Amino acid sequence: MELRRLGRTDLRVSIVGLGCNSFGWKADRAGTRSIIDRAIACGINFLDTSDSYGPSEDFIGEALGERRKNVVLATKFGSSMDTEGKQKGASRPYIMTAVESSLRRLKTDWIDLYQLHYPDPATPIEETLRALEDLLAQGKVRAIGCSNLPAAQLDEAQQVAKRAGLSAFASTQNEYSLLVRDLERELAPVIAKHELALLPYFPLANGVLTGKYRPGQPAPAGARLADAPPFFDGYREPAKWELAAQLERFAAERGHTLLELAFSWLAAQPGVASVIAGASRSEQVEQNARAAGWALTSAELAEIDRITRPAG
């Protein structure tokens, strides 16, 4: 498994990472342990979760045990942790409470990458960065990152850190796939400007890039999009399924699968350090781990660009 440097940090992460949002939802304790066991056996060393992913942190802490020191463990803070929406945000008091809770659940003394999950309009970014700076100084956190920040806010955060002499975000985690390329317009230049590591999530567009969804046919029974809430309607668009079918033909003509194309294309994009892929079964982990090995040629990348790049 290829390892890549996480931005300007000393952390080296596997090109395929394990997204842990299914733990406690689609994978119970035993299933979580099986998935993590297989991930480590396949060379995946980067595990990404959040304090808001149900019992995910608890399950990871129990499953890792003594292997904790062998992985790069990332989690997030800032999402709402209660139904009233009071336990959330990026204020200093909240961060200091949230990190201790995550450390306890993960059964660890440090978090390798601590990430702001969503923007907090109620808190100045300098307050957030100063709190994270203290965690870095205390050794509770090794690197800091963010997720889902728009380009302007990400640029502001990096500039504030520089002006104030604070540690800047080392990475940003955003949705990115062959079917969702929006970040290339505004966010990609900011990522390049500040030499950030990009950690794409939803690399398979919520399953559309697995090939299981066929144009003109209903979603297979039991598939994620078969009974997903309206939030996922964008992935049910016929045009996306048609595009996935076209990409599948492109891959097949070259002796590869759609899954391999999805991962390998992301691995070839500027700044990408690790592709965050979730799994609800250990077999999926093994498939994902093998999927990023297609070294796409410049001609192939150009053709994929022609097929998928959004207009405008």
Which of 53, 94, 118, 176 is an active site residue?
53
- The predicted model scores a pTM of 0.92
SS3 state of residue 12:
strand
pLDDT band at 200 (very low <50, low <70, confident <90, very high): very high
Q: Examine the residue annotation and report whether 53 is marked as an active-site residue of this protein.
A: yes
The ranges assigned to domains in the chain are 3-308
Domain 3-308 falls under CATH 3.20.20.100:
yes
Q: What span, in angstroms and rounded, lies between the C-alpha atoms of 65 and 107?
A: 8
What's the pLDDT band for 59 if we cut at 50, 70, 90?
very high
Q: Which residues contact 176 (CB under 8 A, 6 or more apart)?
A: 183, 198, 200, 201, 202, 203, 266, 269
- Please, which residues bridge with residue 13 across strands? 4
Residue the block writes with tokens 């965690």? 135
Of 171, 87, 164, nearest to 128 by C-alpha is: 164
pLDDT tens digits, residue range 279-304? Answer: 989 999 999 999 999 999 999 999 99
